[in-house]
Amino acid sequence: MAFLSDALGRMKPSATIVVTQKARDLKAQGRDVISLSVGEPDFDTPENIKRAGIAAIERGETRYPPVSGIQPLREAIARKFKRENGLDYKPSQTIVGTGGKQILFNALMATINTGDEVVIPAPYWVSYPEMVALCGGTPVFAETRIEDNFKLQAAELDRVITPKTKWVILNSPSNPSGAAYSHDEMKALTDVLLRHPHVWVLTDDMYEHLVYGDFKFVTPAQVEPKLYDRTLTMNGVSKSYAMTGWRIGYAAGPEHLIKAMDTLQGQQTSGACTIAQWASVEALDGPQDHLKVFRKAFEERRDLVVSMLNQAQHLKCPTPEGAFYVYPSCAGAIGLKTPEGKVIGNDEDFVTALLESEGVAVVHGSAFGLGPNFRVSYATSTAVLEDACTRIQRFCASLR
């Protein structure tokens, strides 16, 4: 009798975590390695938010919280959705989890039965299909193209929906591509969803505030109010507030779904860290001045990386609207050889050879469901990015 569960066999390790650990291991061996694999802002948590966490400790806010979150945070979440997205939710329609990942997992676990399908546009965040598979569902991938800046087109969404489809996951701005949907682009997708009333929408809006230029963020229930009753709108404080380690995600949706997620979470982790929750109240309700600083820095870094990668031989890099990733194509390098004679057969070969040759760690695109590409995180300093991109240019020039 097998000791490990069959469910575990349906999952693969996170490729981003694997690459990041490999970079750490090489650094520990004394190698000069630049890791552009991690999706984490390099900024510190804003001071007012840190102070709110310290004040919570000093007030003794260290008891078990309600499973769905402390009431002040649920109220702050409802205010945030009204203020920034024009969405009316009662606090009872919100839930707080230990990071956005738990919110997504609980929503899927609470709703998916064996045979249910979940539509996931590719490229996708590596955890989406693994969560679906672990819950007993079937991930169905909707393809995007570099010519469309990796944005799902209405016709493709319509093509992949079947009577078994339960959810469509929409992530804008996207990890890994940085692509974000304009109002009209989102409306084209919500129009398709209106024609399929059995399909629910699971949004991942984690990078909402990290959009550049004149781009205006929108979320599906905001664009199409008729989808309100079958949309779970997920967000969190990790990226926009540089609070990755505080581990707070949240969502709002129909009350019966929130109650189901509460039941599941009550037997799983119970409520999220109280101190982090009080800090998150300050994040949502407090000054937002840091966002301009974050956006300016990230936009400058994006423009630098896109420019330098497009100057590299064999690469093509679109300019994304948001997040802190670019997703260049390395199709021009496939079939070429490194100076050591290794053939670049696919994007995984490309990133492996890049790491071995120049000490730059990036994540291969096939891990995100679409290659031959690779993901670069530009959530690090300009000096580091210039060095890394110069190494990538040198590596590409060495291929023959």
Domains and CATH numbers, the chain: 6-44+290-398 (3.90.1150.10), 63-285 (3.40.640.10)
- SS3 state at 211: strand
Report helix angle 47-58 to 274-285, nearest 10.
Answer: 140
- Residue 205 pLDDT > 90: yes
| Token output for 33 | 């390695």
Distance CA 35, CA 327 (A): 15
Backbone region of residue 322 per phi and psi (left: phi > 0; alpha: psi in -120 to 50; beta: other values):
beta
Report pTM.
0.95
Distance CA 235, CA 222 (A): 14
Distance CA 261, CA 68 (A): 9
Please check whether residue 179 is in contact with residue 172, taking contact to mean a CB–CB distance below 8 angstroms: yes
Residue 365: closest CA among 381, 357, 376, 379: 376
| Token output for 326 | 């670019």
Write out the E strands in the chain.
34-35, 94-97, 117-122, 138-143, 165-171, 200-204, 231-236, 249-252, 325-326, 360-361, 363-364, 374-377
34 bridge partner residues: 360
Q: What are 135-179's pLDDT values in tens digits?
A: 999 999 999 999 999 999 999 999 999 999 999 999 999 999 999
- Residue 51 pLDDT > 80: yes
Distance CA 383, CA 388 (A): 9
What is the identity of the amino acid at 92? S
| Token output for 60 | 């003794």
Among residues of the chain, what percentage have pLDDT more than 90? 91
Residue 126: closest CA among 175, 169, 170, 172: 175
**Residue 310 CB contacts under 8 Å (≥ 6 apart), including other chains:** 316, 317
Please check whether residue 95 is in contact with residue 265, taking contact to mean a CB–CB distance below 8 angstroms: yes
270 bridge partner residues: none
- Residue 244 pLDDT > 90: yes
What is the identity of the amino acid at 104? L
Distance CA 19, CA 327 (A): 16
- SS3 state at 171: strand
Residue 215: closest CA among 82, 326, 323, 306: 323
- Residue 281 pLDDT > 90: yes
- Residue 14 pLDDT > 80: no
Could you give the strand order of the β-sheet that contains 200-204, starting from the edge strand earlier in sequence? 94-97, 249-252, 231-236, 200-204, 165-171, 117-122, 138-143
Please check whether residue 78 is in contact with residue 94, taking contact to mean a CB–CB distance below 8 angstroms: yes
- Give me the half-sphere count of Cα atoms (radius 13 Å) on the Cβ side of residue 41: 25
Handedness of CA 289, 295, 298, 304 (dihedral sign): negative
Please check whether residue 150 is in contact with residue 318, taking contact to mean a CB–CB distance below 8 angstroms: yes
**Residue 130 CB contacts under 8 Å (≥ 6 apart), including other chains:** 10, 11, 12, 14
Q: What are 25-39's pLDDT values in tens digits?
A: 888 898 899 999 888
Distance CA 66, CA 310 (A): 50
Please check whether residue 351 is in contact with residue 396, taking contact to mean a CB–CB distance below 8 angstroms: no
How would residue 24 be classed by pLDDT, with cut points 50, 70 and 90? confident
Our measurement of the distance from residue 33's CA atom to the centroid of its chain's CA atoms, rounded to an integer in Å, reads: 24
How would residue 12 be classed by pLDDT, with cut points 50, 70 and 90? confident
Q: What are 109-136's pLDDT values in tens digits?
A: 999 999 999 999 999 999 999 999 999 9
